């Protein structure tokens, strides 16, 4: 979710710089940390399902592969950061609310299934088991509500890890009670990467230097670059003042306590507004610094990958996941160090 209404609050800075992957070098961005879990999740929620011969959903594989090749084509180095599966204690209230909404949506789906003949479960080859429900591909694509109960599984994560290992791309898992955005922002602050790539705005609260925000508007992907120092200077704020505004607006870690107060009013009057105990706790969580070393996998691999492992992965996609051979070969040809 990110910080509520933050793009409206700081509208000028959020919309000032729109760019594509090929523009990154113009802004001295040669390496990025990627909050990957949200991108996997959003790929799974795409309007149409891509499936292989085993009836496995592969939207996430195609989406992340396209991202990697686009970034590598433009000589951008990457570190992928995965969220820890353990419940983050400070985020427990938000998680509970999500589970309640998910269960409500599940009941609605069950009701639709009972009244609808579009979910013919007689053909087992056309079935997907989603949160315990047997649902057909046609039913999923016709009923958007089904996407609201989708969850990331170990299988989804392992699919992407296999991809990263095949390409020798760095990745890391967050420690308990830490968010991927926090680790990404830490990597940005210590100079390991030049920016954080995310669809959320939390990295700014976690004190990243540059946020590359990917969002979809009117079915079009938009990429914006937000420099935190430029934002603070433009609005004459310190980082702590900015953090207070982020907590007053509400986010995954604390609720907005004055529902009738608009974001522009908060920006004008935040100095005279008091934080709730929950908001104070969230501010402390955003502010905490990371003082331990993280185990970055594939860190010592100097090259992107050798042509053999890349070719092996390409053949794996074609033979194991029914990727179109000609299109897949064409996609992989953009990498200069691959022999086909």
Please state, in angstroms and rounded to a whole number, the distance separating the CA atoms of residues 15 and 43: 24
- Whether residue 196 contacts residue 212, with contact meaning beta carbons closer than 8 Å, is answered with yes
Please state, in angstroms and rounded to a whole number, the distance separating the CA atoms of residues 225 and 314: 32
Quick one: average pLDDT of 97-106?
78
Confidence band, pLDDT 50/70/90 cuts, at residue 307: low
Q: pLDDT at position 339, please?
A: 44
Taking CA 147 as the corner, what is the angle to CA 100 and CA 4, rounded to the nearest 5 degrees?
60
Please state, in angstroms and rounded to a whole number, the distance separating the CA atoms of residues 244 and 205: 9
Tokens of 262: 């608009």
Q: pLDDT at position 117, please?
A: 57
Q: pLDDT at position 119, please?
A: 55
Please tell me what DSSP assigns to residue 196: E
Q: How far is CA 71 from CA 24, 81, 279, 293, 309, in A?
A: 9, 16, 37, 26, 19
Confidence band, pLDDT 50/70/90 cuts, at residue 215: confident
Please state, in angstroms and rounded to a whole number, the distance separating the CA atoms of residues 172 and 329: 29
The segment with the largest mean pLDDT, out of 75-89, 146-160, 181-195, 284-298, is 181-195
141-193 pLDDT tens trace: 677 777 777 778 899 999 999 999 988 899 999 998 899 999 999 999 999 99
Per-residue pLDDT for 136 more than 90? Answer: no
Say what the pTM is: 0.87
Q: How far is CA 113 from CA 106, 108, 125, 148, in A?
A: 11, 9, 18, 15
Confidence band, pLDDT 50/70/90 cuts, at residue 246: very high
Q: How many residues does the chain have?
A: 340
Per-residue pLDDT for 238 more than 90? Answer: yes
Please state, in angstroms and rounded to a whole number, the distance separating the CA atoms of residues 195 and 293: 19
Taking CA 286 as the corner, what is the angle to CA 210 and CA 79, rounded to the nearest 5 degrees?
45
Q: How far does CA 149 lie from the centroid of its chain? A: 17
Per the prediction, the chain carries an average pLDDT of: 85
Q: pLDDT at position 306, please?
A: 63
Contacts of 204 by beta carbon, 8 Å cutoff, 6+ apart: 3, 6, 211, 226, 228, 231, 242, 246
For the stretch 65-91, what's the b/e string if a residue is b when 16 or more beta carbons lie within 10 angstroms of its beta carbon?
Answer: bebbbebbeeebbbbbbbbbeeebebb
Cα atoms in the 13 Å half-sphere on the side-chain side of 128: 21
Q: How far is CA 184 from CA 103, 198, 207, 270, 281, in A?
A: 31, 9, 10, 28, 21
Please state, in angstroms and rounded to a whole number, the distance separating the CA atoms of residues 224 and 279: 28
Bridge partner residues of 308 (DSSP): none
- What percent of the chain lies above the pLDDT cut of 90? 48
Largest CA distance in the chain: 64
Q: pLDDT at position 14, please?
A: 87
- Whether residue 200 contacts residue 246, with contact meaning beta carbons closer than 8 Å, is answered with no
> What domains are there in the chain, each with its CATH number?
6-90+152-305 (3.40.50.1010), 308-340 (no CATH)
Please state, in angstroms and rounded to a whole number, the distance separating the CA atoms of residues 212 and 226: 6
Helix (H) or strand (E) segment spanning residue 328: helix 325-332
| 292 CB burial (10 A radius; 0-12, 13-18, 19+) | exposed
> Which residue did the predictor score with more confidence, 94 or 23?
23
Closest CA to 167 of 5, 323, 316: 316
- Whether residue 174 contacts residue 82, with contact meaning beta carbons closer than 8 Å, is answered with yes
């Amino acid at each position: 979710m990110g910080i509520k209404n933050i793009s409206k609050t700081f509208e000028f800075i959020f919309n000032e710089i729109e760019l594509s992957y090929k523009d990154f070098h113009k802004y001295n961005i040669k390496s990025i940390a990627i909050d990957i879990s949200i991108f996997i999740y959003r790929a799974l929620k795409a309007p149409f399902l891509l499936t292989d011969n085993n009836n496995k959903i592969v939207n996430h594989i195609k989406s992340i592969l396209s991202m990697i090749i686009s970034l590598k084509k433009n000589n951008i180095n990457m570190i992928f950061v995965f969220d820890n599966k353990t419940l983050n204690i400070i985020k427990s209230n938000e998680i509970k609310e999500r589970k309640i909404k998910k269960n409500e949506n599940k009941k609605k789906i069950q009701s639709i299934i009972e009244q609808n003949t579009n979910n013919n479960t007689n053909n087992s080859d056309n079935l997907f088991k989603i949160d315990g429900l047997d649902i057909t591909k046609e039913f999923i694509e016709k009923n958007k509500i089904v996407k609201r109960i989708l969850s990331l599984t170990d299988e989804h994560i392992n699919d992407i890890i296999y991809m990263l290992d095949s390409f020798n791309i760095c990745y890391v898992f967050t420690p308990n009670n830490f968010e991927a955005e926090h680790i990404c922002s830490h990597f940005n602050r210590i100079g390991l990467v030049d920016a954080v790539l995310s669809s959320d705005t939390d990295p700014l609260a976690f004190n990243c230097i540059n946020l590359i925000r990917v969002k979809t508007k009117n079915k079009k992907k938009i990429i914006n670059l937000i420099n935190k120092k430029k934002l603070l200077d433009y609005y004459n704020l310190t980082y702590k003042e900015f953090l207070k505004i982020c907590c007053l607006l509400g986010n995954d870690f604390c609720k907005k306590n004055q529902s009738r107060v608009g974001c522009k009013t908060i920006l004008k009057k935040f100095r005279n507004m008091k934080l709730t105990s929950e908001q104070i706790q969230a501010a402390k969580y955003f502010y905490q610094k990371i003082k331990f070393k993280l185990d970055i996998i594939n860190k010592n691999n100097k090259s992107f990958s050798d042509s053999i492992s890349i070719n092996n992965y390409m053949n794996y996609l074609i033979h194991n996941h029914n990727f179109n051979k000609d299109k897949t070969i064409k996609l992989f040809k953009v990498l200069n160090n691959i022999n086909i």
